[in-house]
Structure 1
Amino acid sequence: MLGEHHYALTATWTGNRGTGTSGYRDYDRSVSLRIEGKPEVLASADVAFRGDGARWNPEDLLLAALSECHLLSYLHACVVRGVVVTSYVDDAVGTMRQQGNGGRYESVTLRPRVTVADASMVEDARAAHDDAHEWCFIANSVNFPVHHEAEVSVG
């Protein structure tokens, strides 16, 4: 498991309306993302950038990657700590600031609501978020803060 890992996908622009990129309003931002053996992801630009709001955009995908990476790292941290998680829901939010023709995420806040099996597990369940943040490959790859506002309950 340790070592170098490689990932590959094919991103295909499908938004040529017949005249290519002849003008800013003359093309669609539709993209298909494919990885062999996985369902196709239909993507676009954010609506603010003339994209299709029914499709995933790069900003959505980055937020999703951070949320899922923390979730998976957290579940592992809980196993290591002996915490039994019975439910996990994250309402993640991110802030991006546009600067000229570009922009960047300024921060992401993950808001996981976790339910554990027993009250004796609550302290370790809270601490496991620090482990997860340290272990998350995606959070370690971005150059903006990823905050956590976790809630832990017993159920």
Structure 2
Amino acid sequence: MANHKTHQYHTQILWTGNLGQGTGSYKAYERSHQIIVEGKPPILGSSDPAFRGDHTKHNPEELFLASISACHMLWYLHLCAKVAIVVTHYLDQASGTMLETEDGSGHFAEVLLKPMVTIAPGSDTQQAEQLHEQAHQLCFIANSVNFPVLCKPTIHVAHSG
């Protein structure tokens, strides 16, 4: 049996959408909540506006997509640093497709990461692109989902001078 390190994470979700009637009816409450992690600023959340949520707050689907994207990026930056590829800018415009079923449940069918990476002159462009595949293999979040996470990176070399 392999030796595994265990990491524990703790969050609190505090519902803040009681308008005085609790969940007396489907329209009687807001979906507003706070995501609380000790020692960090709270994240204001709600449901997707398609499900009576507040469009000005983060919804679980967006945060899930952001988690996949951020995990990939952090592994990618780590791998680049290890092989002396100097990343100077990284922007991922990720998208995810969720399918809602007739009974109201749903699931993600696919996520597409589209990282646009700028590397310093002299860095290996081909290796910079290939490291995305390795980052994907190592990503904790991508390894935890049951749908395809695709990655279509774009690598630019910064202008020298």
Q: Into which bin does the TM-score normalised by the smaller protein fall? A: over 0.9
* TM-score of the two chains, using structure 1 as the length reference: 0.96
Task: Specify which of 86, 89, 92 is matched with residue 90 of structure 1.
Answer: 92
Percent identical pairs in the alignment equals 47
Unaligned runs of 5+ in 1: none
Q: For residues 148 and 93 of structure 2, what CA distance do their matches in structure 1 show?
A: 17
Match of 1:130 in 2: 133
Match of 1:102 in 2: 105
Q: For residues 139 and 76 of structure 1, what CA distance do their matches in structure 2 show?
A: 16
Match of 2:36 in 1: 34
* 8 Å Cα contact 2:86/2:123 also seen in 1: no
Residue by residue, what CA displacement relative to the aligned partner does 1:29-62 show, whole Å, maximum 9, x if unpaired?
Answer: 0001111110100000000000000000000000
Unaligned runs of 5+ in 2: none
Q: For residues 21 and 119 of structure 2, what CA distance do their matches in structure 1 show?
A: 56
Q: Provide the aligned C-alpha RMSD in A.
A: 1.0
Residue by residue, what CA displacement relative to the aligned partner does 1:51-98 show, whole Å, maximum 9, x if unpaired?
Answer: 000000000000100110000000011122221111111000010010
* 8 Å Cα contact 2:18/2:29 also seen in 1: yes
* TM-score of the two chains, using structure 2 as the length reference: 0.93
Measured after TM superposition, the shift of residue 120 of structure 1 is 4.6
Q: Name the count of aligned residue pairs.
A: 154
Runs of 4+ in 1 over 2 A off after TM superposition: none
Match of 2:75 in 1: 73
Q: Is the counterpart of residue 24 in structure 1 residue 26 in structure 2?
A: yes
- One-letter amino acid matched to 1:95: T
